[in-house]
Amino acid sequence: MEEVEMAAKKRDEERVASAPAYFDNIHTKRKLLSLINFILLAAGSLLILSPIWWMISTSLKSMAEVMTYPPTFYPHEWNWGNYIKTWKAAPFDTYAINTITITMLVVIGSVLVNSFIAYGFAKVPFKGRGILFAIVLSTMMIPGFVTLIPQYVLFSKLQWINTYYPLVVPAFFGSAFFIFLLRQFYMTIPNELIEAAKIEGASHFRIWWTIGLPLTKPALATVAIFSFNGAWNDFLGPLLYLNDENLYTLQLGLQVFKGEMNTQWNYLMAGSLLVLLPVIILFFFFQKYFIQGINLQSGGK
Amino acid sequence: MSKIVLKNVYKHFDKKVTAVSDFNLTVEDGEFIVLVGPSGCGKSTVLRMIAGLEEISSGEFYIDGKLMNDVPPKSRDIAMVFQNYALYPHMTVFDNMAFGLKIRKFQKDKIKKRVEEAAELLGLEDLLHRKPKALSGGQRQRVALGRSIVRDAKLFLMDEPLSNLDAKLRFQMRAEIAKLHQRLKTTSIYVTHDQTEAMTMASRIIIMKDGVIQQIGTPKDVYDNPENTFVGGFIGSPSMNFFDGRIVNSQFIADDVHINIPEEKMAYLREQGYAGKELTMGIRPEHIHLLTGEEEAELTNSILSKIIVSELTGADTLLYSMLGTQEMIAEVESRTNVTAGEDVYLTFNMDCAHFFDKETGVRIRPEKSAVLVG
Amino acid sequence: MFRKKLMPLFFVLLLILSGCAGFKTGDSKSADSGDKVVIDFWSFWGSEIRRPVIDKIVADFNESQDKIEVKHTFVPWGDIWTKELAAIAAKNPPDVVINDINATALRGQKNQAMNLSRFLEKDDISDRFYEELWNATLYEGDSYGIPFNTDTRILFYNKTAFKEAGLDPEKPPATWEELWEYAEKLDVKNGDTYDRIGFYPLWGVNSDVWMLNSDGKNFFDEDGVPIIDTEANRETLEWVMDWHEKYGANTINSYKSQIDSQQGNPFFNGKLAMYVNTPTFYTQIRDYAPDLDFGVAMLPEREPGSGNTSWGGGFVAEIPQGSKHPEEAWEFIKHLTDVEAQEYWAVKNFDNVANIKAAENAAKNSEMPDKDKVVYQMAIDNMENTLLTPVPVHAPDFMNLVNPELDSILLGKKSIEQGLKDAQQSLEKLIEKSK
Ligand SMILES: Nc1ncnc2c1ncn2[C@@H]1O[C@H](COP(=O)(O)OP(=O)(O)OP(=O)(O)O)[C@@H](O)[C@H]1O
Ligand SMILES: [Mg+2]
């Protein structure tokens, strides 16, 4: 009898004791899970960021350290001066201004012109629209190198070699990919919106400007970023068309660090990072727009 | 203030589809015209041709005597309300309403004044700075209305403006639109497939089917004197009853049911050669009455029917039964406690019955336009 | 709204642009410098070291006379020739371009470079240069480019390591057999890994260099007939495979990625005892491992008497087809390849030059430190052993057919016999087709 009581008591005690342990268990389990999650995510980010770290680390090393074997993970000597030396190794001020000029114009051109053309293809019915659109799209299939030389010859005949026109003017004639992208976006805008504006007396240009542009902002942000990226990182265009070193862009300037035998890796990395910076900033800035978007149906049902 | 005329207007899509055929209409200044018809019958197409959003394939369209076929929408001075409102989602209510005025280069203070006036009229004063996203359906509808009235256009077009609203709101807005029209007296064309809207709002109704006008007339006119079986069936709820039968000896015989036809009707039916022929009789449910006493049944033109369903709608009760093999609905006073399965005597008020040609569905009229009144 | 706010913005933009240099059209070169003929000179020498040297050579030329003005433009390495091709196609090329010597004949055949015979008839400067270099510029007997600089492949070895391994630091390996023996002695194994590797033939050069070294024969004979499937080449690849097995794929690959990326080299800190590269590799040792005690030697012979054949390349100065001022360009090229400019280039850049006299002068130049002189002299001496492999005009892309075969041999996917046989056959087919 006593034994039974004892046993019962013991069981009770155990239950009492095990209750917090049980909760603890859930707690630690959760903690552990989030820890594992964290570690996995961190590892993933590190993996993705490792090339960037590699660039940073190399950019701060001396050339002698870059050349040591096995490579050092972080610089033993932090040569912050590399950045200044890099910037001074070539007229990078000029290159930066040149690049900004070209890029701005290309972005403005791409955003406005492609949007305008896309509006036309999406919202203005006209004879042969489908065929024309197919032709525009088909230009996407032509590989770039096929048109390279003819295009160069054309610009040469226009006396545009060694000017920014070949780099900027094409942006004002639209690009098939952007047109396609924006047209898809315009298709989601109800026709009634356009028709309502038409009845209220707006011209197509006006409708595009006051309704089309604001409603396609997310797509325009995408176009802006893509075209910014394209112009900013364009290497072949400036290479082919610019003969005067005063007109060179950052991407061309970076090439002074690459030689037929030796490459000045520390300067090249420092320079590449400096050139990359605006692109990264821009991405952070526009990230919002990508996610946000505008609910086009909000004015309707 | 304006008068519009459509003459032999056709619309073809892709050379194959004929959405509208031979559309003729004259709208007097200040009229409220309602276009009804089943889905796909071409109502929107007519409206869009008037607005200039759709080209007129052939025929002529005039506003105040001026040919408008090739005039772009912005120069037609028309306002239009769309089914899904088509508000500009990125603009505030104020900007939505001011848009057309800005385009027409009105002065700022004038724009403000007009928008505020319209907002007051529609009870939108407190919503002017909201975006459409933050409005209810009814509010959006009002903004859409407001947007079209600020401009003071010559012609008002509305394409099923209430179809996205719930029944109660629809009822309320219907009244508001009617009120608005009484105040502004702007010539209006209103599209709906809801015949109640048509009946309550219109000064004249146009009933369309398959791109062809079936009848034009005042609500009362089309209700009482439907031009054909389609109009008879389309206008009125519950629908008119139609029975196929034959005329023998001044009696309409459907299956084995015999109904006497009044002599005045029989006169012109006979005159037009329908005696002994197959035709269709139409009679509205409210013209079928319930008889109570058996003696009464002996006396009058009555039939014994078994009620299949009895449906109380409020003021009335609908009785579903069969006339021979054909369905029949009677609308009777709600106080009569007839239940399903019961056998009752029903009588037809034959003065209010219509006869239609069986082949064409066209109503057979007295030749010398002796108008029937129900 | 549009007209009010945006239009002025556009005008301002236009105004800014019209003031911007990048938007002035027209011929950029005829603008300045009076009666002087301006010629455009493109090179890829833009680095801190190269740029001042070439700019000085150009400046010297510009000062030396008053008829011609050379405008030097840096165009990025590698891409310079894309740009040149586009400019030639548009009939608006520069006047002098530095280009790859091995493809000079091909460019002659394709009518991209100008035939220089008419200048050479008056001014025969061909004897300035190493014969092997000069011959590489010829297509059907005419020269299409004047050699500027060159390179070769020599053996660098770590003297300290030699001493540690009991080898005579003044007696580098003379044959492949010795190379192997030395390497065995130089290897320092630590468990599964190596603290020092004696030698591995495919770091720094490819197997084709060793096939060239084995019998002094290229993949094509003088008549353009493919001769890749030879006894010597088979033996070479067997020898290469022996090395491969000796160190194992893991070790080889982990070093190779570093060496290929040109970031870090185990030779600098003694982890690799012997290494084949160009003489200019010396400048890296000088700059990044100044304390390294090393020696240089010619490539060893396959067997005594088979020859120390090495492989070289280089660059020429050419006049693109369509140049508006070929006479003036020629004058500049003469200056560029003459003793003075070449010696200056050689000393300042520690680079092998094409001009024999200039190379020899440079090796004795007082500006060169002793260590530099030793390496430079070795480079000059090695020129006798150095063969170029000009691109055959009928099969310019033949390496695209050969490389996959060599790769499958090295990866063990094909036997050496089979791989070489297949390579030989596909080359024969290629030649057959293009004729
Ligand atoms: N753009 C078009 N292309 C081809 N056919 C069309 C086009 N627009 C309308 N139609 C056709 O024309 C006919 C009439 O269409 P409409 O939109 O005028 O009908 P509706 O009476 O307004 O119908 P609902 O009540 O459903 O709005 C339909 O058969 C429709 O399919
Ligand atoms: Mg419709």
DSSP C76-122: -TTTHHHHHHHHHHTT---SEEEEEGGGHHHHHHTT-BPP-HHHHHH
pLDDT at residue number C264 = 79
Domain layout of chain B by residue ranges: 4-233, 239-373
pLDDT band at C29 (very low <50, low <70, confident <90, very high): very low
- Minimal Cα–Cα distance from B133 to chain A, Å? 5
Q: Tens digit of pLDDT for each residue in C109-119?
A: 999 999 999 99
- Residues A98, A237 within the same domain: yes
Is the predicted pLDDT of residue B25 greater than 70, yes or no?
yes
> Rounded distance, CA B314 to CA C425, Å?
99
Domain count for chain A: 2
Same fold, B4-233 and B239-373: no
Q: Side chain identity at C319, as an amino acid letter? A: I
Query: Is B207 a pocket residue for ligand 1 (Cβ < 6 Å)?
Result: no
Contact C314, C152 (CB under 8 A): no
C89: chain A residues, CB-CB within 8 Å: 149, 152-153
Using left for φ > 0, alpha for ψ between -120 and 50, and beta otherwise, residue A62 falls in: beta
Query: Is B88 a pocket residue for ligand 1 (Cβ < 6 Å)?
Result: no
Is residue B169 less than 8 Å (CB to CB) from chain A? no
Written as six digits, the tokens of B209 are: 């089917």
Higher pLDDT, B328 or C12: B328
Is the predicted pLDDT of residue C232 greater than 70, yes or no?
yes
Q: Cβ–Cβ of B86/A202 closer than 8 Å?
A: no
Residue nearest to atom 16 of ligand 1 (CA): B42
Q: Which CATH architecture has domain C154-311+394-434?
A: 3-Layer(aba) Sandwich (3.40)
Same fold, C36-150+313-387 and C154-311+394-434: yes
**String of b and e for A42-52 (b: at least 16 CB within 10 Å)?**
eeeeeeeeeee
Cα A199 to averaged position of ligand 2 atoms, centre (Å):
17
> What's the fold here for domain B4-233?
Rossmann fold (3.40.50)
Q: What is the mean pLDDT of residues C261-269?
A: 83
Which residues make Cβ contacts (< 8 Å) with residue C378, sequence separation at least 6?
C154, C279, C296, C297, C298
CA-based torsion, C10, C14, C20, C24: positive or negative: positive
- Minimal Cα–Cα distance from C314 to chain A, Å? 11
Instruction: Determine how β-strand C193-196 pairs with β-strand B251-254.
Output: unpaired
pLDDT band at A11 (very low <50, low <70, confident <90, very high): low
Is residue B136 less than 8 Å (CB to CB) from chain A? no
- Residues A30, A179 within the same domain: no
Cα B43 to averaged position of ligand 2 atoms, centre (Å):
6
- Residues A249, A171 within the same domain: yes
Is the predicted pLDDT of residue A290 greater than 60, yes or no?
no
> Rounded distance, CA A156 to CA A150, Å?
10
Written as six digits, the tokens of B280 are: 């269709």
Q: Cβ–Cβ of A239/C284 closer than 8 Å?
A: no
Contact B186, B155 (CB under 8 A): yes
By Cβ distance, the residue of A148, A164, A262 closest to C284 is A262
- Residues A125, A262 within the same domain: yes
> Rounded distance, CA C251 to CA C245, Å?
10
Query: What's chain B's length in residues?
Result: 374
pLDDT at residue number B372 = 45
Which residues make Cβ contacts (< 8 Å) with residue C374, sequence separation at least 6?
C296
C431 exposure class (CB count in 10 Å sphere: 0-12, 13-18, 19+): middle
- Minimal Cα–Cα distance from A200 to chain B, Å? 5
Contacts 24+ apart (CB under 8 A), C116-122: C116/C142, C116/C143, C116/C144, C116/C145, C116/C146, C116/C319, C116/C330, C117/C142, C117/C143, C119/C326, C119/C330
pLDDT band at C34 (very low <50, low <70, confident <90, very high): low
pLDDT at residue number B43 = 93
Is residue A213 less than 8 Å (CB to CB) from chain B? no
The closest alpha carbon to B354, from B370, B365, B368, belongs to B365
Give the sheet arrangement for strand B78-81, strand by strand: B78-81, B155-159, B187-191, B32-36, B204-209, B212-217
By Cβ distance, the residue of A149, A159, A165 closest to C86 is A149
Is residue B74 less than 8 Å (CB to CB) from chain A? yes
Residue A66 lies in a domain: no
Residue A28 lies in a domain: yes
Q: Please tell me the pTM assigned to this model.
A: 0.80
Residue A82 lies in a domain: no
- Predicted ipTM beyond 0.85: no
> Rounded distance, CA B11 to CA A124, Å?
20
pLDDT at residue number A7 = 55
Q: Cβ–Cβ of B89/A215 closer than 8 Å?
A: yes
Report residues near ion ligand 2: CB below 5 Å: B 44
- Residues A118, A196 within the same domain: yes
Contact A208, A172 (CB under 8 A): no
> Residue A211's closest chain B neighbor by CA?
B88
- Residues A110, A29 within the same domain: no
- DSSP helix, strand, coil percent of chain A (3-state; round to 5): 80, 0, 20
Contact B260, B251 (CB under 8 A): yes
Q: Cβ–Cβ of C2/A206 closer than 8 Å?
A: yes
pLDDT at residue number B299 = 60
pLDDT at residue number A248 = 93
pLDDT at residue number A284 = 83
Written as six digits, the tokens of B61 are: 């369209």
> Rounded distance, CA B186 to CA B152, Å?
8
- Residues A25, A162 within the same domain: no
Domain layout of chain C by residue ranges: 36-150+313-387, 154-311+394-434
For the CA of B208, the nearest atom of ligand 1: 21
pLDDT band at B366 (very low <50, low <70, confident <90, very high): confident
- Extended strands (E) in C124-254: 138-139, 142-143, 146-150, 154-158, 188-190, 193-196
- Minimal Cα–Cα distance from A187 to chain C, Å? 24
The closest alpha carbon to B258, from B163, B350, B191, B120, belongs to B350
Is the predicted pLDDT of residue A291 greater than 90, yes or no?
no
Query: Is B19 a pocket residue for ligand 1 (Cβ < 6 Å)?
Result: yes
Mean of per-residue pLDDT scores for chain C: 89
Written as six digits, the tokens of A55 are: 């660039």
Q: What is the mean pLDDT of residues C329-338?
A: 95
- Residues A20, A130 within the same domain: no
pLDDT at residue number B300 = 66
For the CA of B43, the nearest atom of ligand 1: 21
Query: Is B55 a pocket residue for ligand 1 (Cβ < 6 Å)?
Result: no
Query: Is B13 a pocket residue for ligand 1 (Cβ < 6 Å)?
Result: yes
Q: What is the mean pLDDT of residues C394-401?
A: 88
A199: chain B residues, CB-CB within 8 Å: 51-53, 73-74, 76, 78-80
> Rounded distance, CA B283 to CA B299, Å?
21
> Residue B151's closest chain A neighbor by CA?
A200
Probe target for ligand 1 pocket from B9, B10, B11, B13, with the most ligand atoms within 8 Å of CB: B13
> Rounded distance, CA B3 to CA B189, Å?
12
B184 exposure class (CB count in 10 Å sphere: 0-12, 13-18, 19+): middle
pLDDT at residue number B122 = 87
pLDDT at residue number B138 = 87
Q: Tens digit of pLDDT for each residue in B88-145?
A: 999 999 999 999 999 989 999 999 999 999 998 888 999 999 999 999 888 998 999 8
Is the predicted pLDDT of residue C32 greater than 60, yes or no?
no
Query: Is B259 a pocket residue for ligand 1 (Cβ < 6 Å)?
Result: no
Largest CA distance in chain A: 113
Query: What's chain A's length in residues?
Result: 301
- Residues A33, A162 within the same domain: no
> Rounded distance, CA C311 to CA C383, Å?
9
Written as six digits, the tokens of A164 are: 């920014």
Q: Which domain holds residue A110?
A: 90-298
Q: What is the mean pLDDT of residues B264-278?
A: 88
Is residue A294 less than 8 Å (CB to CB) from chain B? yes
What is the percentage of chain B residues whose pLDDT exceeds 70? 95
The closest alpha carbon to C358, from C97, C130, C134, C43, belongs to C130
**CATH code at A257?**
1.10.3720.10
Using left for φ > 0, alpha for ψ between -120 and 50, and beta otherwise, residue C82 falls in: alpha
Contact B101, B152 (CB under 8 A): no
> Rounded distance, CA C270 to CA A277, Å?
38
What DSSP designation does C129 have? B
Q: Is B246 helix (H, G, I), strand (E, B) or coil?
A: strand
Q: Tens digit of pLDDT for each residue in A47-69?
A: 888 888 989 999 999 888 888 87
H-type alpha helices, chain B: 43-51, 93-103, 108-122, 137-149, 167-184, 195-201, 219-224, 229-234, 263-271, 294-299
DSSP C32-45: SSTTSEEEEEEE--
Which residues make Cβ contacts (< 8 Å) with residue B250, sequence separation at least 6?
B260, B261, B263, B266
Q: Which of A101-105, B266-270, B281-285, C220-224 has the lowest mean pLDDT?
A: C220-224
CATH code of the region C36-150+313-387: 3.40.190.10
Q: Tens digit of pLDDT for each residue in C291-326?
A: 999 999 999 999 999 999 999 999 999 999 999 999
> Rounded distance, CA C255 to CA C269, Å?
13
Q: What is the mean pLDDT of residues C86-101?
A: 94
> Rounded distance, CA B8 to CA C58, Å?
86
> Rounded distance, CA C284 to CA A260, Å?
14
pLDDT at residue number B173 = 86
Domain B239-373, CATH homologous superfamily name and number: Nucleic acid-binding proteins (2.40.50.140)
